[in-house]
Structure 1
Amino acid sequence: MALVGTLLLLAEVATAVKTVNEGLQEEIALPNTPWKVTDWFVWETIKECNGWRIQQNTFTRHCRLVDPDDWRRAWGTKNGMMAVWKELEDKM
């Protein structure tokens, strides 16, 4: 009986992981409050231009758009930040 419960739990975890991975592929930009940021070791810059940069958190894999004065201007999924970047790039 314990084995059946464990297998059911593993199936639920696998489904949850799949759902999260699918969500990370969407273009999501979340509501933002500008926030002064620091470049801690958990942030990796994946795109940069004219002081603007997209950074990805090495643990959670979410991203943020940071302006030249180190203020977070947007955050969300990588695809979401790439979409925001494209809009910004057209204005740069």
Structure 2
Amino acid sequence: MKLNLDAIAAGRAVRSAKAAARAGDIAPIVADLKASGAVSLRQIAAGLNERGIPTARGGEWSAVQVQRVMNRAAIVPALFL
């Protein structure tokens, strides 16, 4: 079965909406970690892992994943790297 372009676009929109909702859920936790003194993406990832918050796929956080979530949630990761 081959999907048409409309079906592909609809699937992409659903995935994007889920990712945006997940980023919105994680954003307050990231803000709390930053307020607690986390000054790098790695420190934020470690904080999420310490709190037992899994990634969307159930794994552990990395700095790159944190950056992507922050970008998606429109949190500017200024001074992080």
Is TM more than 0.5 here?
no
Q: 1 or 2 for the larger relative contact order (CA 8 Å, sep ≥6)?
A: 2
Higher helix share: 2
TM-score scaled by structure 2? Answer: 0.38
Question: Based on CA coordinates, which of the two structures has the bigger radius of gyration?
Answer: 1
